């Protein structure tokens, strides 16, 4: 869709904007979902019931964004990627690569984060990407092969990601875990009920199973 049409849609009141986005762009936005004053134009967009994207967030050059029920993206986030639909030599060695952001039920990305979805980023249910200025980076330069490369990032259910962290492609944060503030996660871990911290991050403490954050039934934390 052309730039002029996108600008026109942005100026519409939300109820009309939702209808226009669904009809003209083929998006699937539930009547109870909402986008603020934000530039959100992936190739495909699915927003389930009560999901929301707040003001001043930008999301471009992605194959797809999918928000499950009550998922939220806060203010001022920069979400970008490199769509698999692009005709480019970059990532030609990865024909199965997809530029997708999937956010599970009751999960929240707060504000002022950078989310690079050159490859898949899968965020589970009841996850909090907290604080400010965290970076989830699925791509980098492979200095050994001298080419652009990418790997998915997987964030498990009921996890807490502290402020100003870095998560690199290929990393997995298992379910029921915490990534401590200012840490850098670069590996795929499998041990649940752990606090991971440091640069690079590694298991540094156990989390007791009775910790209430990890059994809540609503995403919002009072």
Q: Measured between alpha carbons, how far is 202 from 207 in angstroms, rounded to an integer?
A: 14
Contact of 35 with 12, CB cutoff 8 Å: no
Q: What pLDDT digit, counting tens, does each position of 74-107 carry?
A: 999 999 999 999 888 899 999 999 999 999 999 9
For 20, the token pair is: 């226009």
**Domains by residue range for the chain, with CATH:** 3-215 (2.160.10.10)
Strand 72-73's sheet: what is its strand order?
A: 34-35, 52-53, 72-73, 108-109, 128-129, 160-161, 178-179, 194-197, 202-206
Helices 14-25, 3-10: axis angle to 10 degrees equals 150
pLDDT value of residue 1: 57
Q: What is the pLDDT of residues 134-183, one digit of tens each?
A: 999 999 999 999 999 999 999 999 999 999 999 999 999 999 999 999 99
The pLDDT assigned to 39 comes to 98
DSSP reduced 3-state for 91: coil
Of 103, 105, 135, give the one whose Cα is nearest residue 121. 103
Strand order in the sheet with 44-47: 28-29, 44-47, 64-67, 100-103, 121-123, 153-155, 172-173
- What SS3 class is residue 166? strand
């Amino acid at each position: 869709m052309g730039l002029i049409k996108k600008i026109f849609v942005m100026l519409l009141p939300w109820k009309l904007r939702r209808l226009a986005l669904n009809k003209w762009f083929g998006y699937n936005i539930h009547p109870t979902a909402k986008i603020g004053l934000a530039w959100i134009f992936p190739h495909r967009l699915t927003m389930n019931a009560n999901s929301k994207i707040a003001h001043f967030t930008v999301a471009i050059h992605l194959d797809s964004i999918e928000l499950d029920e009550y998922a939220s993206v806060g203010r001022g986030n920069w979400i970008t990627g490199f769509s698999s639909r692009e005709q480019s030599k970059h990532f030609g060695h990865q024909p199965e690569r997809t530029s997708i952001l999937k956010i599970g039920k009751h999960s929240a990305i707060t504000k002022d984060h950078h989310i690079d979805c050159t490859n898949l980023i899968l965020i589970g249910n009841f996850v909090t990407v907290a604080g400010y200025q965290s970076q989830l980076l699925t791509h980098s330069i492979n200095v050994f092969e001298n080419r652009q490369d990418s790997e998915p990032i997987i964030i498990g259910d009921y996890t807490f990601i502290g402020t100003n962290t870095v998560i690199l492609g290929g990393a997995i944060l298992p379910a029921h875990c915490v990534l401590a503030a200012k840490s850098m996660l670069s590996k795929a871990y499998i041990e649940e009920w752990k606090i991971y911290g440091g640069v690079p991050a590694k298991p540094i403490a156990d989390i007791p199973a009775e910790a209430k954050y990890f059994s809540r039934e609503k995403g919002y934390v009072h």
